[in-house]
Every structure is written in structure tokens, then in C-alpha cells.
Amino acid sequence: MNSKSDHRLQRQFDKLQRRIPPFASSMLVWLRRPQARLVRIPLGILLVLGGIFSFLPVLGIWMLPLGLLLLALDLVFLQGPVNLAIVRGTRKWSTWRRSRRDSKKKP
């Protein structure tokens, strides 16, 4: 297993855990345990499928990245692309928020 990708993925999960509500955080802690693999893989697949069908009223696009994150814990070939997407997405989000904040400050 690529330890650099694994450590980066674990850091992303830690960051996510700090930002979500406590009940969801405790569920994420449970899902990250190695013993939860039999639950994590099917849940990840279901979340990815739910994200693909996000045009339906109950499902949402938020399910796709969460499903890929869960699958990346067990599927090593997904760790690199998922890490890259998270890092780039976070940078884009920060840049976008900063530009909106700056544009509101200007009269």
C-alpha cells in the first residue's frame, strides 16, 4: 500500500471529521475501522450510484465524493485520484470563497 497516499487520505478524513456534526463524526470513526470493511465497500458503492443519479429528488451530488472517499480506504488504485481531487477541490473552494469575500468588501 502506498503509505504517502494513505496518510494523505487519512488526513483528509480527519479534516472532514472535525467539520461534520458529532453524530456523523462518530459514524465516520466507526466506518474507518478495518473491521467495518464489509459495510464500507457496499455503502461506498451505493453512495457513488446515488451521486450518479443525483437528478432524482432524494439523491444528491454530495453522495459521489463521499462514496469515492469510502471506497478509497480499501481500493488502493483510487487513493491517488481521490486525494488529488480533494486537494484541488479544496483549493478551488478556498479561492472562490476568498474572491467572493473580497468582492463584497469593495464598494
Q: Where are the domains of the chain?
A: 3-105
pLDDT digits (tens, 9 = 90+) for 14-37: 888 898 899 989 998 999 998 999
pLDDT of 87 over the 70 cut: yes
The DSSP code sequence of 8-72 is HHHHHHHHHHHHS-HHHHHHHHHHHSGGGHHHHHHHHHHHHHHHHTTTSSS--TTHHHHHHHHHH
Q: What is the mean pLDDT of the chain?
A: 87
